[in-house]
Structure formats: C-alpha cells, structure tokens
Amino acid sequence: MVLENFRRGLEVTALGMGLVFLTLVVIMLAIYLLDRIFRDKAGERATPLVDAGATEGTVATATDEAAAIAVAIALQKEQEQQEGDYYEEIVGEVVMVASIEPGTGAWRGHGRLRAMQ
C-alpha cells in the first residue's frame, strides 16, 4: 500500500514536471518563430528622425533628442511648481493590533494524535 502510494506520487510528480517543461519548450519555440518572422532585415533599418526646422538631409542626433527631453522635463517641473503642491502628506495614527494567544494547544495535540493513528 505504501509503496503503491509512493509510486503513484512519483508518477504524478514526473507528469507534472514533464508538462511544465513541455510548456516551456512550446513557449520557447513560439518566441523563436516570432523573432524570426518579425526580425529587421539588414537593409530595412528604421529611418532616422529628421529635424523639422533643419534643411533637407539633416538628421536629428542623440544629443538633440536628449536636449528635447531635458527641456520637456524642465517645463513640466516648472508647470507643477506654478500650479502648487496638491500632494499633501497623509497623516495617520498608530493603532495597536490585538494579539491572539495560542491557548492550550488542544488542536495541535489532536493533530499529533491523528497523525500517529
């Protein structure tokens, strides 16, 4: 009886682990196939950003992008300061939580007795 339960437990464990790894392999293959389908080709690179105020053929560089982001952040901070601080600190009080004493341990003793039977 005990050996049969142990064997059945091993079978269920092996089946569960096998299904988990099979699922991971299926997900890996799906990611691989999607990567192959939607991968950029060597000649099909994304077009660079073109500066609207520049002459034709001039391209916006990374420093131009960084400068634009910095200006946007500075403007946002300035606008927030002009509108005022709407975020006030939330004031709360300290509350003591009542602790429950474990008691005599009758349930623990009952569980031990059932386990020994």
- For 4-57, how does the pLDDT look when each residue is reduced to its tens digit (9 = 90+)? 999 999 999 999 999 999 999 999 999 999 999 988 776 565 555 555 555 555
Average pLDDT value over all residues in the chain = 80
* 99, 88 contact by CB (below 8 A): no
The CA-based angle 54-59-62, given to 5 degrees, is 120
pTM of the model: 0.36
Q: Which structure tokens are listed for 108?
A: 């623990």
> How far is the C-alpha of 48 from the C-alpha of 53, rounded, in Å?
15
Beta bridge partners of 50: 59
